[in-house]
Structure 1
Amino acid sequence: MSETRSYPRRVKTEAGEIEFRLMSRADEAAVLAFAQKLPTHDLLFLPRNISEPKVLSAWLNEIDRGDIVSLLALRDGVVVGCGTLVRDRHSWSPHVGEIRMVVSPDVRGQGAGRALSQETFAIALSAGLEKLSVQMTVDQRSAIALFEGLGFRAEALLRDHVRDAAGATHDIVVLGHNVAQVRAQMEAYGLPGAVEPQV
């Protein structure tokens, strides 16, 4: 799914040099350590609690099957972020991919999240998907702004859609990006590379 991207690749950010590489089973312990340090609210970005070892193991099984691609962001060899592209070829929406992303508070606001979102978006574009979606809690304004900067637009608000460990419910906003439509419009204007992220 990432045939036009090569990894590892490095990007300089205000947080320092960030290395991006594809996640594999060898990363299980490092990703678990990363996930278990995340604030509980950040885990609501994801449909599953990746701080649980059995959930992480199932995630790695999906990577092995090729159902998802996960990109790790590392600083000095430590995982500080993860971007994932999920698609279900056996559903009614094989042309749609979902981006899931979470970044350590240690590197937020320093360009690492933006770089990770651009890299994950590039992987999604190289997969030939026609539409992308991403979801997050409505109070995650910085994350929403990141994806709006990539051309995503709000499509739905799901009220009381997730419940945190304390039992409180939170609204989720779903953002969508119609890659095929935007690409067709840009090609009509003679700008075929316009939906490619600048990384």
Structure 2
Amino acid sequence: MTTEMTVRNYPRTVELGGQRVTLRLMGDGDREAVLAFARALPGHDLLFLRRDITRPEVIDAWLNQARSGEVVTVLAEADGQVVGYGTIHRSTLPWTDHVAELRVMVAEGMRGRGLGRVLTQEAFANALGMGIEKMVAQMTLDQKGAIATFEGLGFRPEALLRDQVKDREGKKHDLLVLSHDVARFEATRAAFGVAEALGG
């Protein structure tokens, strides 16, 4: 699928807790760096993802989707290592191509510094340029920090899927689906001056 879209200019640099983080689009040369990032994540963090990003063939498919425009992924890099990403995965069906799934992941050592919020804001800014009208995100109920971040940005619960995912020990977990209107997010962002803070 080829998508007409306008994304923000990258690379961009932000400072979080005294550390400089570079934001840039994922490209073909990032295969090994993204694999290393994924394999360092706690297993529980992978439960709400639709695919196992610790597998090389999955990263290859992800890169193919990025080339086609089906997926836009912004990587966060610090000290030469990937420390997070924000991905917009647009529906390929014509009757739902106004909807995209948002996936945000942050390395353990970078949590609590606001990187997840920054990546989510970047994703929304890019979603506007892609013509996306609705964003959805999903996570397990015990990921309270992530849920709080998303709700703080205006996401609201839309569905609760009971026993939807099973971890490596065989324990089942409920999955929470949240959604947000992209245009409403932009209005809120402008009202609170987030656009200025992010460089427009």
Scaled by the length of structure 1, the TM-score of the pair is: 0.89
- Does the Cα contact within 8 Å between 2:84 and 2:105 map onto a contact in 1? yes
| Partner in structure 2 of residue 157 of structure 1 | 160
| Partner in structure 2 of residue 128 of structure 1 | 131
Matched, 1:38 2:41: yes
Scaled by the length of structure 2, the TM-score of the pair is: 0.88
* Cα deviation digits, residues 12-38 of structure 1 (max 9, x gap): 101611110000110000000000000
Letter of the structure 2 residue corresponding to residue 176 of structure 1: S
Change (3 A) 1:93 1:110: same
Task: Specify every segment of 5 or more residues in structure 2 that has no aligned partner in the other structure, as ranges.
Answer: none
How far, CA to CA, are the matches of 1:108 and 1:19 in structure 2? 16
| Partner in structure 2 of residue 51 of structure 1 | 54
- Secondary structure of the structure 1 residue equivalent to 2:67: helix
Matched, 1:60 2:67: no
| Partner in structure 2 of residue 140 of structure 1 | 143
Letter of the structure 2 residue corresponding to residue 100 of structure 1: R
Runs of 4+ in 1 over 3 A off after TM superposition: 191-198
How far, CA to CA, are the matches of 2:18 and 2:172 in structure 1? 33
Q: 1:130: how far off?
A: 1.2
Change (3 A) 1:183 1:176: closer
- Does the Cα contact within 8 Å between 1:15 and 1:110 map onto a contact in 2? no
In the TM superposition, what are the counterparts of 1:1-199 in structure 2 within 5 Å? 3-14=6-17, 16-180=19-183, 182=184, 193-194=190-191, 197-198=194-195, 199=198
- Secondary structure of the structure 1 residue equivalent to 2:47: helix
- Does the Cα contact within 8 Å between 1:45 and 1:100 map onto a contact in 2? no
* Cα deviation digits, residues 47-95 of structure 1 (max 9, x gap): 1110111111111111111110111001112100011000123342111
Change (3 A) 1:75 1:92: same
Letter of the structure 1 residue corresponding to residue 178 of structure 2: L
* Coordinate RMSD, CA, aligned: 2.2
Q: 1:117: how far off?
A: 1.7
Percent identity of paired positions between Structure 1 and Structure 2 = 50
Letter of the structure 2 residue corresponding to residue 10 of structure 1: T
Q: 1:7: how far off?
A: 0.3
How far, CA to CA, are the matches of 1:24 and 1:150 in structure 2? 28
Task: Specify every segment of 5 or more residues in structure 1 that has no aligned partner in the other structure, as ranges.
Answer: none
